[in-house]
Each structure stands twice: as C-alpha cells, then as structure tokens.
Amino acid sequence: MWRALCEHAIGAVVAAATLSLGWAAPTPPPSPTPELYSPQTVSELKKLEHAALTSDYGWRQVAHLANNIGPRLSGSAQAQKAVEYVAVELKALGLEVQLEKVMVPHWVRGDETASLVQFPGQAPGTTQKVVLTALGGSVATPPDGLTAEVAVVRDFDELKSLGKEKIGGRIVVFNYAFDRRMAEQGWGGEAYGEAVVYRSDAPSAAARLGAVAVLIRSVGNAAYRLPHTGLTTYAADAPKIPAAALAEEDADLIAALVPQGAVRLHLVLTPKELPDAVSYNVIADLKGSEHPEQVVIVSGHLDSWDLGTGAIDDGAGVAVAMEAAHLVRQLGLRPRRTIRVIAWMNEENGLRGGETYAAEHASDIGNQFAAIETDGGAGHPLGIYIAGQPGLRTILQPIANVLRDSGAGLLDFRDEVGADIDPLAKLGVPNFSPIQDSRFYFNYHHTAADTLDKIDRHELAENAAINAVLSYGLANLEQPLPQ
C-alpha cells in the first residue's frame, strides 16, 4: 500500500508539472518538478510532527475547556468565559489576538420531560417515563405540557401517506434509524448525513399536516438511553411546533406499543429563545515573515451544545489548533505566511461565526490562503480531507508523506470538510480537515456524554500533528494554491 501511494504521488507530481507547461512536448524530458516545500521546511515539518506527539499542551487546553468551563452554548456565560480564556492563552503564546464580534442566537434549554400516559398493558395509575431532549431552537409546549395520541412514521414518505387525518392533532414520532453498520465501517459522517434531515426538517413537515409536536429518534449511535440534541429549523410556511429527540430505546418502545393500541404521551418542553447576544470569534495571528497578509487558518469551534461539556465537539478542535501555534513557537519557527488560529463561535446553532468572518473578508479573499478546521472529534486521524481543486492533492502529497509516520498519510476529497470554513470554500479558499475516526464519534455527539474521558491523549496529539504540519507546511509552500 505504501508503495502504491508513493508511486501515485510521484505520478501526480509529474502530471501536474506537465500540465503546468500548457502544451505537450513531443520528445524532451519532463522539466524538473517545481519545488513545493524547501528541504528546510520538510525538515521542520518532521520536527513539528514529532513534537506534537509528545506535547500535552492541547490536552491541557481541552481539559480546561471541558472540565473547568463546561458546556459552552452560544450566548451563555460559559461561552463568554471560553472566549476570554482562549484569548488569554493565545496571547501568552505571543500571538496577536483580536476578538471578532458576532451576534449569536441565545436559546436556553428548560425543563424537558415526557411520559406515556396511556398504552396497552399499562398498570393502573402508572405512566411510563420517556427520555428525550429538546432540539436546539425548539419552541416550548405550554408550561404544563401537552398531551396527545402518538403516530409513528419511519420517514417523510410514510408521513405523507398517513396524511392530515392520521397526523392532525398527533405527536408524530419519526423513527428513522442511524445506520449503525455504516458507522462501524468508518462512514459515521455519511450515516449522520442520511438521518439528520429528520432533525432539521421533520417538525415543519409534520406541522403542515396538523401535528402538535414532533419527536425524532436521536441521530446517533449507541443505545444507552441517551438522547442527542442538535439544531432544528422551522420553515416559514409551517406552524412552529415543539420538537425533541428521543433516546433510541424510547423510540423503539413507542414503535413497539403503537401497533398494539392507542398510545398517548404527555410532553413538557420549556426552552426560551432570548434576544441575540454579543459574542466573538477569537482570532490569533502568528505573523508570517514574508507574506504576513496571507493567512493560513487553523481552527475549531469554541461553542458547544449544552448537554455535555463539549470535549469532542469541539473543545478538541480548538485545542489542536492552539497546539499548532504552540508547537511552532516552541520550536522557534517563523512561518513565511501568517498562521491564524481561530476559535469559531456559534457553529452549533447558527454558524454566525464562520459566516461573519467570510463576509468580513470577502473583499480581501485573495489573502485567505487556506483554511483548516478540526470538527470530527479527537479520534485517530488517517490523513487529510480536501475540499477544493484536484491539483491540491499534488500540493499536499509531501505533507502527507511526513504525516504517514503517524498513520495519517491519506488524502481524500469531500465537498465540505468543515462547517465554519465552508463559507470561505464557497469563496474559493481551499479547505482542509483531518480524516478522523468516525466509528464512535456519533455515540457521543451532541449528548451529555460528550466529556473529556472520550478523548484519548495520544490520538488528540495525532490530530495536533496534522494541524501543525499542515498549517506550517501551507504557510511555507513555495507557490500559490490552486483556487
């Protein structure tokens, strides 16, 4: 495998060089491959990788964010504390720090309880508890809740087939299962993509048919009576109805009971949507020596959902971006372009941070050289995802060759590799992210179990190695990137 990859890489470099001539020479030997990275840069990249694998700076950062600050939902006091903390830490590294103001949604979770109050076989005077959590952005039920009969559907097609008669007045359960086998084979993100459409679109789809509330089966893996939150969205043409995610077991329970007879559920959700709040992207520059105006962004998002402590989503991403700058400083290196660490605000329920940055830099987009984001947890990385031109593979191959030492030598393309940097991708900026182990990520994603213990220190360091090597490599690339 190693040889195959290596030969492929050499072939790609030659092909790129040939193409760059703009014509096909009939006989002369191919011109020398243009140098992508100087020998000194390659040597420094190897030093950065080795230093990353033995540093605990990133671990200490994510430990502080998760344990000492805790959940960091946009608009919360913890999110503000995290902004201040990261700014201070990056200043301490000698970076130039600025806070970029972002107005963020300020949604606050309230009570969230539910029980089956009527079901086949029910013991007299009893109800059965149902475990759920409000979806981000959900409207509230009345303070004392609402009670209605339950209808269960698997998907939008089944919803439509039932129609207004069987959906009207009901609490609709969407029992679409996350594809566990897909995740087990390493395609966790794809499994998530298939199921998450119900989290976003089900409430309005059901409301158009008269439903009074929607409960989705949690978009995630593992069955530990643990509901997964996440953002829902309301369409302009539909009533806003309360929406929550059921633990997998509770979706199974309701789906088993409904065919046996009438099931009625009592639901209480009391979230509040407060006025938009002031928050910030934390932006910290390690200035380039030759092209300080050109920036290579290395980033994660600082906000998190409110159920867990945001360790894997995405304290880890912020920590490995901070570690990249820390390692460059620790080794006394000076990048030729600016390495810009960004801790984005509001990825989870608005994307206001990423969108604000892209809008504010649209007129200067040519200086946004590249953007890296880590937002898939802290699992062992296999390499680098690229969103951009095919020629980027050739440019990144020497970096991949360095990272192969820690098992991270793959390069692959995706349409989108990071939510906060995608607005930049749409403006032509090449985007990159680590290819992270996604087999277990969706066991914990957006749940109360997203906590520090889910991070393996060595695997976190492997992600830091990618961030350091890739950001420093791009900052020292001897040519422009294809955009």
- Footprint of a second copy (CB under 8 A): 63-64, 67-71, 76-78, 80-81, 85, 119-126, 128, 131, 222-226, 248-249, 252-253, 256-257, 260, 308-309, 443-444, 447-449, 451-454
Closest distance to a second copy from the beta carbon of 283 (Å): 21
Question: What 8-state DSSP symbol labels residue 447?
Answer: S
Q: How far apart are CA 42 and CA 40, in angstroms?
A: 5
Q: Which CB atom, from 22 or from 121, has the smaller least distance to a second copy?
A: 121
Which two tokens mark 460? Answer: 């976190």
Nearer to a second copy, 451 or 467 (CB): 451
Is 273 noted as a catalytic residue in this protein?
A: no
Gap between the Cα atoms of 352 and 278, Å rounded? 11
Query: DSSP 3-state helix, strand, coil percentages of the chain (rounded to 5)?
Result: 40, 25, 35
Give bridge partners of residue 267 from the DSSP assignment. 114, 146
Instruction: Pick the closer one to a second copy by CB: 67 or 98.
Output: 67
Q: How far is the CB of 326 from a second copy (least distance, A)?
A: 19
Is the Cβ of residue 80 or residue 483 nearer to a second copy in the bound state? 80
Residues β-bridged to residue 220:
none
- Among 44, 89, 248, 347, the one annotated catalytic: 347
Peptide bond preceding 453 in cis form (omega within 30 of 0): no
- Closest approach, Cβ 77 to a second copy, in A, equals 5
DSSP codes joined into one string, 208-266: TTT-SEEEEEPSS---SS-----B----TTS----EEEE-HHHHHHHHHHGGGS--EEE
Please identify, using beta-carbon distances, which residue of 119 and 432 lies nearer to a second copy.
Answer: 119
Contacts of 396 (CB under 8 A, 6+ apart): 384, 386, 411, 432, 470
Six token digits for residue 383: 């390499």
- Minimum Å gap between C-beta 123 and a second copy is 4
| Residue burial 141-173, b: 16+ Cβ < 10 Å; e: rest | beeebbbbebbbbeebeebeebeeebbeebbbb
- Report, in Å, the least distance between residue 448 CB and a second copy: 4
Catalytically active residues are 347
